[in-house]
């Protein structure tokens, strides 16, 4: 294993050993108050970053009922994992307490604060995808952006809306559900991937036209190595066809987005975090990340605990230390997995983990270490 890869995972292991990202930050700073690295965070995408929008949608939109969220206090949080998800942990690295609130959960006061740029918003919807046809009953990414436009059109910010949005992080996650919805009888793989990439770039262009200038993108993870897709192979190995499609999408997205930014979005600063490479490294080097189980989910039923989604029917959650597991359910990672991943694409060197720059460089002029800031509590 490369030296830089080893150091990234050691950093991730240290982060997981702390009881929360907040405590980790306070341990470094000694309680010193500092400002967050960006104005606000606006989140779009799927269940990797949804913090409860689906709780306000009727069936068949999937819901993250208990035991999802069981490692966070109070009622189920709408997060498709055991604790904090990627939107939360990224927001914590930026200096916020958690992800901004789910947009559909906002009360009038929340929307008032959103309009005056005092809070961000999370528009993500579990089960949705890049394509409009993905995710029955969910908020498509196009719909999510329409909700954001509705809010942005009414924003009044100091010193200006343009300055506020230009210095806010727009976080996007999508693509995994589109591959789960792929039908080889109606689409060819190259055509489907090309449609996904062109549609994704349309979404990014729409956000750019609305004022986004700082975009963080989470690429498609190795979906073929999730417990749910291992279940479909005779020997329990990763599904190479699914992983090949994910890699094809990730590669084409990097190439075409770079060309489009150079031609049409010259003021856009972006980073594509490689969920694919990070999770692959964890799967094949689990001991470095501190995992004891990288094939079987913690919550589910049957072979690989992947024969049904967590919280359905007779599914149960494991009684072991949840941080020992890479996967919480048949599709989603545990909070521990996400904490390792965020360390990697914030501070990893070179394009393996984040391209063309890492998230730390994206959100700071000099790439300062974001984990040394004290968390603020406005979101």
Active site members? 47, 329, 332
Place of tokens 């979101």: 379
342's tokens: 């965020």
255's tokens: 């190439």
C-beta atoms surrounding 94 within 10 Å: 25
Task: Specify the 3-state DSSP secondary structure of 217.
Answer: strand
Q: Which residues of 6-43 are buried (b: 16+ CB within 10 A; e: fewer)?
A: eebbebbbebbeeebbbebbbeeeeeeeeebbbbbbbb
Peptide bond just before 339 cis, omega within 30 deg: no
Numbers of helices and strands, H then E, in the chain = 14, 8
C-beta atoms surrounding 123 within 10 Å: 25
Whether 8 and 353 have beta carbons less than 8 Å apart is answered as yes
Name the DSSP letter for residue 233: S
Find, among 164, 292, 180, 170, the residue nearest to 228 by Cα.
180
Name the DSSP letter for residue 102: B
Find, among 260, 180, 184, the residue nearest to 217 by Cα.
260
366's tokens: 């000099």
Phi-psi group of 129: left, alpha or beta (phi > 0 → left; psi -120 to 50 → alpha; rest → beta)? beta
377/277 Cα distance (integer angstroms): 32
Find, among 279, 266, 275, the residue nearest to 227 by Cα.
279
Task: Specify the 3-state DSSP secondary structure of 325.
Answer: strand
In sign, the C-alpha dihedral spanning 91, 198, 331, 121 is positive
305/295 Cα distance (integer angstroms): 9
Whether 66 and 311 have beta carbons less than 8 Å apart is answered as yes
């Amino acid at each position: 294993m490369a030296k830089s890869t080893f150091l990234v995972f050691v950093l991730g292991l240290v982060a997981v050993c702390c009881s929360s990202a907040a405590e980790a930050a306070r341990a470094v700073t000694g309680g010193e108050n500092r400002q967050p690295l960006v104005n606000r965070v606006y989140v779009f995408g799927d269940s990797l970053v949804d913090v409860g929008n689906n709780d306000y949608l009727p069936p068949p939109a999937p819901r993250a009922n208990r035991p999802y969220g069981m490692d966070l206090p109070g009622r189920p949080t709408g997060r498709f994992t055991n604790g904090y998800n990627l939107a939360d942990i990224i927001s914590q690295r930026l200096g916020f307490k958690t992800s901004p609130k789910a947009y559909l959960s906002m009360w009038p006061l929340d929307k008032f604060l959103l309009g005056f740029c005092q809070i961000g918003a999370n528009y993500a919807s579990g089960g949705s995808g890049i394509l409009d046809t993905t995710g029955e009953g969910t908020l498509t990414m196009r719909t999510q952006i329409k909700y954001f436009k509705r809010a942005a059109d009414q924003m009044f910010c100091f010193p200006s809306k343009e300055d506020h949005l230009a210095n806010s992080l727009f976080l996007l996650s999508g693509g995994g559900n589109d591959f789960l919805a792929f039908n080889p009888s109606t689409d060819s793989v190259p055509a489907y991937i090309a449609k996904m990439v062109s549609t994704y770039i349309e979404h990014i262009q729409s956000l750019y036209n609305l004022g986004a200038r700082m975009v963080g993108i989470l690429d498609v993870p190795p979906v073929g190595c999730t417990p749910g897709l291992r279940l479909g192979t005779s020997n329990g190995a990763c599904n190479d066809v699914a992983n090949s499609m994910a890699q094809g999408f990730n590669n084409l997205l990097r190439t075409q987005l770079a060309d489009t930014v150079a031609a049409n979005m010259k003021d856009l600063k972006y980073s594509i975090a490689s969920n694919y490479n990070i999770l692959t490294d964890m799967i094949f080097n689990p001991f470095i990340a501190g995992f004891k189980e990288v094939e079987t989910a913690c919550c589910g039923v049957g072979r690989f605990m992947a024969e049904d989604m967590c919280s359905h029917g007779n599914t149960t959650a494991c009684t072991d230390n949840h941080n020992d597991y890479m996967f919480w359910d048949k599709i989603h990672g545990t909070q521990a997995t996400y904490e390792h991943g965020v360390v990697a694409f914030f501070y990893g060197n070179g394009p393996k983990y984040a391209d063309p720059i890492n998230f730390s460089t994206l959100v700071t002029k000099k790439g300062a270490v974001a984990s040394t800031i004290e968390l603020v509590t406005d979101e």
